[in-house]
Chains A and B, each alone.
Chain A
Amino acid sequence: MKFFQLLANALSLRQLLYTLAVLLGVVILTFFIRPPGDPVRVALGQHADSVSVANLQKQLGLDKPLAIQMLHYIGNLTVGDMGRSLVTGRPVAETIADRLPATALLATTSMLIATVLGIILGVWAAWRANSWLDTSLMGSSLLGISVPSFVVGLLFILVFSVILEWFPISGYIDRGWEYLTLPMITLAIRPLSVIARITRSSMLDVLGMDYVRTARAKGLSNVKVFFRHALRNALNPVVTTVSAWFAGLLAGTYFIEMVFNWPGIGLAAFNAIEKLDYPVIQGTVLITAVIFVITNLVTDIINALLDPKVRVR
């Protein structure tokens, strides 16, 4: 009972409606993701006869005004219909339902690793602030931020798969856990670097605060001050970063899946981009954005539940 009261406090009706309005905007923007020119011509090729072009146009509703098309698109979405692939004719929703588990597995395991390791390394760097350890950790994290994930993936394949032969070059987890390792680590590098940097700077901020000085003055041991008093407060910005990065991670999976041939929605999107199969592109982009919006809403709720300033007793 108390939980629901808290939840009601944390999540106002206004916020919920606003989220819906944002989702509507997301759908409208997604609707416009289509290649310039006639998508049917692109799908059927230059030499298609005008009858089959007209047929497919009619089937896709492209002969109607844009506003009507958009209403149709939104209407279909409410019943879970995302259209059909121009290439295979398969319903997009089906493809996404098929592919989403692979992406979710990759994204969540990476995020877990990135969060745990990132916080540990960040705290470690703050503990030994301005030592060579701190400098080298922050240096590596700068490198991690500055190199795009697909490049990291390629380098990892070169070193760990081709030269050292520790891990397979590409493939899905159904052939064994070792297939998950490289893509997971590759995807984790960027968020790991960001989380480590945020944790470190947040820790250093908190350590400079008066209440920490008071705790020290009380004669508490360094370890106690560090972990009991400072760390807890230092983690607030980290929580926000983690959720914000979850979306970046979802976009990152697009490239990682392509490099490692991992059959998630990213690989589906990549194949669709090659053929300009726009319903599939729309579907994958939309699902990613929706997941992101929901993640943000959940983060807001969690933050509100955790933050004593928001909590009403």
Chain B
Amino acid sequence: MIPIVTLTWKRLKKNKGALAGLITICIMSAMAIFAPWITPFEPTTQILEYSVKPAGFRGNILLKRNPANPDVPSVLAVSDFTISGDTVHYRDPSGEPYRIALKQLAGTSPDDWHHRPLFLLGTDRFGRDVFSRLIYGLRVSLTVGLIAQAIALLIGVTLGAFAGYFRGWVDDGVMWVVNVVWSFPALLLVIAFSVILGKGYWQTFVAIGMSSWVDIARIVRGQFFSIREAEYVEATRAFGFGAVRTILRHMLPNAAGPVIVLTTAGFATAIIAEASLSFIGLGVQPPMSSLGQMIKDGYGYIALGTNWGLTVFPAAAMAIAVIAVNLLGDGLRDALDPRTTQR
């Protein structure tokens, strides 16, 4: 096992594309994991005065104490403010004068409650920070990819292993299911399962996972067919090992290579599937942000020719993620394929 891993890594290291993909995925994963510390705003914080501001817009805000949730203060957009005694006089962006008691603001000094935040990628219709939503959307997309592939692996490996090991009617049954599922274009199957399961976060994982196990089952079955008669598998039978032990300990590790490659490719497909689902209104629901959700929110502006960033930024983030995963997948395929010699 270990020499194979080192050999694969040695080969992968030489593939610049795969390495670039791996690094990109690591950076994106880190951004997704540490989203709350990177993003200047909560993805759901709305500043209605700052609706559809361009990229690089700098806001001018006061933070007001929020009795309901002390950790997330309310935001007041202002054009300027003055402190007189225990009252703050301020004007909102349209110039209307207001005042607020000093003790109602979050924190003690002006440095605490007055900020000039940068909206790196601008804001959306509801004045939400696009950058923050993008990072959180990336988080959703990567999570969906990860969990959906875990589900696909579980179903695919189990069914494929049973079919390949037991053959006969087990194989016939599994292959019938495989061929039925295979008859639906992948995205359509995802849509179908989403309709059956309903809209929502976990439903999206399951719908995508249930749609993408077929390739894995096929490859595991095929691998098992070819190694079932190998001497080391015969030996396990001679030792009287049970089917489960033989499958898990002795056969699966030898089918791991192609499964890893397929899972990586499936990860990329899952990200696209999630975005497609959200785009047609199934999948992850608002106010939670996902990349597809953001594209759906923003694409109305495309026909007007304005604020195209609302579509292009999440689309670019998704494309970068998918390209990175695909590059890594291609690299893994070459590295794990014993036929590829070093060219």
Q: Do A and B bind each other?
A: yes
Q: State in angstroms the CA–CA spacing of A255 and B276 once bound together.
A: 8
Q: Is the CB of B183 within 8 A of A146?
A: no
A interface SS class: helix
Residue B326 interfacial (CB < 8 Å): yes
Residues of A within 8 A of B185 (CB): 247-248, 250-251, 288-289, 292
Contact A25:B280 (CB < 8 A) given known A157-B302, A162-B305: no
Contact A273:B282 (CB < 8 A) given known A150-B276, A289-B184: yes
Q: Is the CB of B196 within 8 A of A285?
A: no
Chain B interface residue count: which class? 35 or more
Contact A273:B323 (CB < 8 A) given known A146-B268, A150-B276, A162-B303: no
Contact A154:B281 (CB < 8 A) given known A26-B183, A143-B323, A276-B195: no
Residue B154 interfacial (CB < 8 Å): no
Q: State in angstroms the CA–CA spacing of A37 and B199 once bound together.
A: 12
B interface SS class: helix
Q: CB within 8 Å of B: which of A238-271?
A: 247-248, 250-252, 254-255, 258-259, 269-270
Contact A32:B272 (CB < 8 A) given known A146-B319, A248-B186: no
Binds A, one of B81-89, B162-170, B307-315: B307-315
- Shortest C-beta distance, B282 to chain A (Å), equals 7
Binds A, one of B32-40, B108-116, B174-182: B174-182
Residue B247 interfacial (CB < 8 Å): no
- Shortest C-beta distance, A246 to chain B (Å), equals 9
Q: Is the CB of A273 within 8 A of B281?
A: yes
Residues of B within 8 A of A269 (CB): 191
Contact A158:B188 (CB < 8 A) given known A21-B176, A148-B276, A273-B195: no
Q: State in angstroms the CA–CA spacing of A21 and B179 once bound together.
A: 10
Greatest chain B CB density within 10 A among A34, A143, A258, A289 is at: A289
- Shortest C-beta distance, A299 to chain B (Å), equals 13
Q: State in angstroms the CA–CA spacing of A252 and B180 once bound together.
A: 20
Residue A60 interfacial (CB < 8 Å): no
Greatest chain B CB density within 10 A among A29, A36, A143, A248 is at: A29
Q: State in angstroms the CA–CA spacing of A254 and B275 once bound together.
A: 14
- Shortest C-beta distance, A260 to chain B (Å), equals 11
Residues of B within 8 A of A292 (CB): 183-185
Q: State in angstroms the CA–CA spacing of A186 and B295 once bound together.
A: 17
Residue A40 interfacial (CB < 8 Å): no
Residue B161 interfacial (CB < 8 Å): no
Contact A293:B183 (CB < 8 A) given known A273-B191, A273-B195, A285-B188: yes
Q: State in angstroms the CA–CA spacing of A151 and B319 once bound together.
A: 10
- A residues contacting B by CB (< 8 A) are 18, 21-23, 25-26, 28-30, 32-37, 142-143, 145-148, 150-151, 154-155, 157-158, 161-163, 169, 247-248, 250-252, 254-255, 258-259, 269-270, 273-274, 276, 278, 281, 285, 288-289, 292-293, 296
Instruction: Offer 13 A-B interface pairs, CB within 8 angstroms, sorted by A.
Output: A32-B196, A148-B318, A151-B275, A154-B299, A155-B315, A161-B303, A162-B302, A163-B305, A247-B185, A250-B188, A254-B188, A281-B191, A292-B184
Besides the contacts A248-B187, A292-B184, what 12 more A-B pairs have beta carbons closer than 8 Å? A25-B180, A29-B180, A35-B195, A37-B198, A146-B326, A151-B319, A155-B311, A169-B303, A250-B188, A273-B191, A276-B195, A289-B188
